[in-house]
Amino acid sequence: MATTDWTRPFRLHLADGRTWHGAQFPPTETFPDGLIFVGHGESGPPGIIAVSLHSLFTGLNPNDPLVGARVEWPEPCPPS
């Protein structure tokens, strides 16, 4: 499956004021909805991988830092 889609960056603004950075990867044959990667820069694994933003926020423990997080997409880049 060839694609011309670009990986889209985003920020996650956590309820406690921290900001994590992520990317939404384009669809592939294996992952038709693409993939989400969020890097948090904290101890432990370097980030979180999910099959969609919806799945990233589904079934969270009430103490999970993602509870109440807001996604910020960048403004579209002007053509060069």
Quick: pLDDT tens for 28-50: 898 888 899 999 877 778 889 99
Percent share of the chain, pLDDT over 90: 61
Burial class (CB in 10 A: 0-12, 13-18, 19+), 55: exposed
Angstrom distance (rounded) from CA 6 to CA 42:
27
Percent share of the chain, pLDDT over 70: 90
Q: Check whether 4 has a pLDDT greater than 70.
A: no
**Quick one: pLDDT at residue 38?**
95
For 27, which DSSP code? P
**Quick one: pLDDT at residue 73?**
93
